[in-house]
Structure 1
Amino acid sequence: MKKMLASAAIAAAAVTLSAGTASAETTLKLSHYLPPVHGIHTDFIVPWTEQVTECTNGEVQFEIFPGGTQLGNVAKQQEQVLAGVVDIAHGLHGIPRGRFPRTSLIELPFLTEDAGAASETLWELYPEYLAPEYRGMKVLALHAHNGGLIHTANTKVETMEDMEGLRLRTPSPAVSQMLTALGATPQGLPPGEVYENIQKNVIDGTVFPWDPVKSFGLNEVLNYHLEAGAYTVPFFFVMNERKFDSLPENAQSCIDEASGEALVSKFGGWWDKWDAAGRQEAVEAGHTITELTEEERQRWREALQPVTESYIAEVGQQVDNAQEIYDAMRETLAKKEQ
């Protein structure tokens, strides 16, 4: 499975999008950490680059480096943009940890399970509350996935007690604290390493929305899925600010036109589509899919309230208005989820 993804990624990296590269004035390097079969690549990244290229009449071209290529490391997306190694990157806020404390507040338990509302909330709050975390970068979009599930290989999870001792891959510090409070042992791993570690029994499962379960081939090594909707995680799509400023005005306008609110508004529908495919694959494989009961959900909420309070206090050691940001997220999400 890993060899297949790596081969596909290398093949994708070798392709410079759009014809006419010989006459192109600018070729921008764009990296992300997901396999080229993932919807992020096929539905978002590739069409976005094509839109910009068309808008600039071919004056701006793109070379994409997905996961599995030399620039596709999930832990290096932000630093590669800041250093100018790549011009644009799509990355996961939680890896490596601690870089985006303000943005990470959206990961807190049961704050939201709706990708569309979460993505629009992040974008709406970005100018006033989140911007200091993105110095040196032009933010093209912020987004988040639908509510995450608990996926396991050999243990059916229905209650908090079933979580006891499970070694589960975690995407971020906030989700790690959630898992610990529920009795599990969080294991920090890049998404691309989950398959091998489940297969080797190093971990018992993972937390993910449905879509990466399919794109990383995890339905091959998983058997049980709890639709908990207990958390989300945010992603960034950013450009080196100096590089953006160096582009002709027309190119800047084309990038702006393809980005921002117009782009962010698409993520809700995209995640629904990607998640549906991952869930259907699990159904066809005969897996056991369980939904967290309302009674059990309330137990989890009560058990996780101290996690929320502790994490906000922790972020408050770095950010003066952590509680204000969290409250703004909660209020904005409530309006968008109506």
Structure 2
Amino acid sequence: MLRKIAFGLAATAMMSSAQAQEVVLKVAHFLPPMSTMHSRFIVPWCDKIEAESKGRMKCQIYPAMQLGGTPPQLLSQVRDGVADIVWTISGYTPGRFPISEVFELPFMTTTHEASARAVWDFIDEHAASEFEGVKRIANWVVGPYVIHLRDKDLKTIEDFRGMKIRAPSRLGNRMLTALGATPVGMPVPQISESLSRGVIDAAIVPWEVVPATKAHELTKFHVEVSGGRSLTTATSIYVMNQKRYDSLPPELKKVIDDNSGREVSAWVAAEFKVGDEGGRAAALGRGNKITEIPADEVKRWKDASQPVVDEWIAEVTSKGHDGRKLYERAVELVEKHSRN
């Protein structure tokens, strides 16, 4: 009898221990479930950590700000533990990422995967302190930004004058100002209504965002730049609350670690590339016009936006860093990974 009782107590203790080690991670972001970010990265990433942890670690995903708040509050939510993991755009919290935002400068980035690897390495070297309080899982830039216009095409720098254009970040705002447009800052979820009501004449977003925001239904013209460099882009961060990570047992930390880093960042970027192809196809499917700006005109845009680069270098230098060296290192890393 005593042996049976002892066995029962031991079994109960083992079951309690196993249950205590089951972890459910709250993962939040601001786009709908049909978005590239949700369907092609967050869901597969969560499936992967569940499989590798043998079911001991799972995700509960909250798309479209279902935990409440607004997109600019996601970073605070993960720092404060409202969410365990979030994906957001660093430009939604101006001033919080003054060094790593270098990749949002005009004509900085190239291909999806190469730029993602450059971002990860650069942050490792120079901007890890910007992520204090969170564990970095992935850092990357989304695909090249495209100008999506309601009812007017754009071919030269002069065409920017008088246009109200949604920009992705403070550096995107400065670039549009330098090109002669009036920048209007807003998170991605506000784009559809703003285009529909005529609050903005155009929006700068990557192709992959188009289906989720119905931008291809609200615009008729789309402008790409030639030359292999992005007009501008946005730095994405996928991060975990540091205390939540620290509370995990070693074997579950390893699962998170194995699914973090440079190559995971490149994987996300590659999925965004697929999303870009789908968004572009959706625009073409509606008969919309896509214009590619030729090299000589792109040079005019690049020359006009050079003051944005110079101003960023001066700002960062004024805060005690070597702005020129940081800029040159970012360029060097992009070129290095673009050659590989």
Same topology, TM > 0.5: yes
Mapped pair 1:98 → 2:95: yes
What SS does the corresponding residue of 1:337 show, helix, strand or coil?
helix
- Aligned with 2:208 (options 181, 206, 211): 211
Q: 2:117 aligns to what?
A: 120
Alpha-carbon displacement from aligned partner over 1:63-86 (angstroms, at most 9, x marks no partner): 111114234731111111110111
Q: Which of 173, 178, 198 is matched with 1:181 structurally?
A: 178
CA contact (8 A) 1:113 1:148 kept: no
Q: Alpha-carbon deviation of 1:24?
A: 6.8
Question: Equivalents in 2 of 1:192, 1:70: separation in Å?
Answer: 15
Distance 1:192 1:139 in 2: 24
Q: What is the match of residue 225 of structure 1?
A: 222
**Is 1:166 paired with 2:163?**
yes
- 2:313 alignment partner in structure 1: 312
48 and 319 in structure 1: CA distance in 2 versus 1, 3 angstrom threshold: farther
Residue in 1 that maps onto 2:152: 155
Residue 300 (structure 2) aligns with:
299
Distance 1:319 1:218 in 2: 41
Please tell me whether residue 333 in structure 1 is matched to residue 330 in structure 2.
Answer: no
CA drift of 1:53 comes to 1.1
Q: How does 1:65-80 map to 2 (within 5 A)?
A: 65-71=62-68, 73-80=70-77
Q: Does 1:39 find its partner at 2:40?
A: no
Cα contact 1:34–1:72 (8 A) shared by 2? no
Say if 2:299 is the partner of 1:283: no
**What RMSD over aligned residues (CA atoms) do the two structures have, in Å?**
1.6
1:82 is aligned with what amino acid?
R
Between the aligned partners of 2:55 and 2:20, the Cα distance in structure 1 is: 8
Alignment TM-score, normalising by the size of structure 2: 0.90
Structure 2 counterpart of 1:59, which letter? R
Give the match for residue 245 of structure 1. Answer: 246
**Whole-angstrom distance in 2 between the partners of 1:247 and 1:71:** 26
- State the distance in 2 between where 1:242 and 1:188 align: 33
- The amino acid of 2:36's aligned partner reads G
- Partner amino acid, structure 2, of 1:302: D
AA aligned to 1:241 is Q
- Separation of aligned partners in 2, 1:98 and 1:118: 22
Question: What is the letter of the counterpart of residue 51 of structure 1?
Answer: K
- Mapped to 1, the partners of 2:24 and 2:314 lie a distance apart of 44
AA partner of residue 67 (structure 2): Q
Counterparts of 2:266 and 2:67, CA distance in 1: 31
CA distance in 2, matches of 1:126, 1:83: 22
TM-score, with structure 1 as normaliser: 0.90
In structure 2, give the amino acid aligned to 1:323: R
Is the deviation greater in 304-313 or in 319-328? 319-328
| Cα separation, 2, equivalents of 1:165 and 1:275 | 28
Deviation of the 1:136 alpha carbon: 0.7
Identical counterparts, % of pairs: 33
- Partner of residue 267, structure 1: 268
Aligned length: 318
Farther off after superposition, 258-267 or 279-288: 258-267
* Preserved CA contact (<8 Å) 1:32 1:73: no
CA positional deviation for 1:23: 8.3
2:56 to 54, 59, 68: 59
Residue 28 of structure 2 contacts residue 65 of structure 2 at CA under 8 Å; is this kept in 1? no
Deviation at 1:22, TM superposition (A): 8.1
Match among 77, 83, 90 for residue 80 of structure 2:
83
**Counterparts of 2:69 and 2:263, CA distance in 1:** 26
Question: Which residue of the partner structure matches residue 10 of structure 1?
Answer: none
Structure 2: runs of 5+ lacking an equivalent: 1-17
Letter in 2 for 1:283: L
2:6 alignment partner in structure 1: none
